[in-house]
């Protein structure tokens, strides 16, 4: 069993990305398709690709892939990016998770089969030996007890656990070294909450780093007992925002991997996500380390 820098556990999907010229069409309307690309969907999968393109050794585990054209293509894209997919064999008589993304001017609309995935629990149970070999864990919270088990094993082994959108009372937060909460998730789950109070609720649930992202607006971050830090998002000409959050989480993982302080980690994550938004498809064309550093240094 080979060692890895990051053990990534979570959602993997076969995705097709359509880019429209201008705005997303209204019902019964029309919009011109500018480009179509096959790509990988799922938070863990996209974060893994971005990390691998930064030179990180990533082992990806999670839901099953089907032994069909979609599954074969998805695994090939992951392999080509340098992600270890040995825990993702293609299963006979299984469809896998399908995703279709429509990207328009600064918007994205996603259709998928994630609800069915969660209902059926079509994923691998994590192996503790895989978790313990990593230096940092990149964790999706969506697989219930399986995700919690990854967090418990990692925390017990002293390995930082970086996760994303979950409720402020999720037991997983007890084991998290960092959690990134997106504006989309806040609007979905906590639209009627005052942001400062919600941020404090997350701080009360973890000893780790809490980050709130708001798209083009400034990023909030902090730890229990500290003042909320705020950093402006990078202004870019976005053409594909479908992997922005996954790329930001990858940047946080990268910062933990290198032992950076919170300010440097959040800045790197914001720059990484900003660059990815200027590419199509973003995750598959994400930058290397030197390019991110040059981007941060650009006035």
Per-residue H/E/C for 37-97: EEEEECHHHHHHHHHHHCCCCEEEEEECEECCHHHHHHHHHHHHCCCECCCCCEECCCCCC
Beta bridge partners of 163: 139, 179
Question: Cis (ω within 30 of 0) for the bond into 281?
Answer: yes
Check residue 243 and report its DSSP letter. Answer: T
Helix (H, G, I), strand (E, B) or coil at 211: strand
| pLDDT at position 299 | 54
pLDDT score of 42 more than 60:
yes
Mean pLDDT of 135-152: 98
| pLDDT at position 24 | 86
Instruction: Give residue-wise pLDDT tens across range 196-241.
Output: 999 999 999 999 999 999 998 999 999 999 999 999 989 898 887 8
pLDDT score of 191 more than 90:
yes
pLDDT score of 4 more than 90:
yes
Mean pLDDT across the chain, nearest whole number? Answer: 94
Please say whether the dihedral angle defined by the alpha carbons of residues 74, 77, 81 and 82, taken in this order, is positive or negative.
positive
* 270 burial via Cβ count (<10 Å: 0-12, 13-18, 19+): buried
Model confidence band, residue 2 (pLDDT cutoffs 50, 70, 90)? low
Helix (H) or strand (E) holding 154: helix 145-156
Model confidence band, residue 1 (pLDDT cutoffs 50, 70, 90)? very low
Mean pLDDT of 258-262: 98
Nearest to 42 by CA among 24, 62, 58: 62
Instruction: Give residue-wise pLDDT tens across range 230-254.
Output: 999 898 988 878 889 999 999 999 9
The domains found in the chain, sorted by start residue, are: 11-21+34-286 (3.40.1190.20)
What span, in angstroms and rounded, lies between the C-alpha atoms of 228 and 223? Answer: 8
């Amino acid at each position: 069993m080979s060692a890895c820098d990051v053990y990534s556990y979570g959602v993997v999907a076969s995705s097709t990305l359509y880019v429209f010229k201008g705005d997303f069409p209204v019902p019964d309307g029309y919009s011109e398709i500018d480009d179509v690309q096959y790509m990988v969907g799922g938070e863990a999968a996209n974060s893994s690709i971005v990390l691998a393109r930064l030179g990180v050794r990533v082992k990806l585990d999670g839901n099953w892939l089907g032994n069909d054209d979609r599954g074969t293509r998805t695994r090939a894209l992951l392999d080509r990016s340098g992600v270890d997919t040995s825990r993702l064999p293609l299963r006979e008589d299984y469809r896998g998770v399908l995703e279709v993304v429509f990207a328009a001017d600064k918007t994205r609309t996603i259709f998928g089969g994630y609800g069915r995935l969660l209902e059926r629990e079509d994923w691998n149970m994590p192996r503790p030996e895989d978790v313990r070999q990593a230096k940092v864990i990149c964790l999706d919270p969506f697989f219930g007890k399986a995700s919690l088990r990854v967090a418990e094993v990692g925390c017990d082994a002293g390995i930082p656990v970086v996760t994303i959108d979950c409720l402020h009372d999720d037991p997983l937060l007890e084991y998290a070294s960092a959690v990134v909460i997106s504006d989309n998730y806040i609007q979905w789950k906590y639209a009627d909450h005052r942001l400062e109070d919600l941020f404090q609720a997350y701080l009360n649930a973890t000893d780790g780093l809490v980050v709130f992202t708001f798209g083009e607006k400034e990023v909030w971050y902090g730890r229990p007992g500290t003042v909320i830090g705020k950093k402006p998002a990078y202004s870019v000409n976005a053409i594909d925002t479908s992997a922005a959050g996954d790329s930001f989480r990858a940047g946080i993982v990268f910062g933990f991997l290198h032992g950076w302080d919170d300010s440097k980690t959040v800045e790197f994550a914001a720059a990484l996500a900003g660059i990815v938004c200027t590419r199509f498809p973003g995750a598959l064309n994400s930058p290397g380390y030197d390019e991110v550093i040059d981007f941060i240094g650009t006035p």
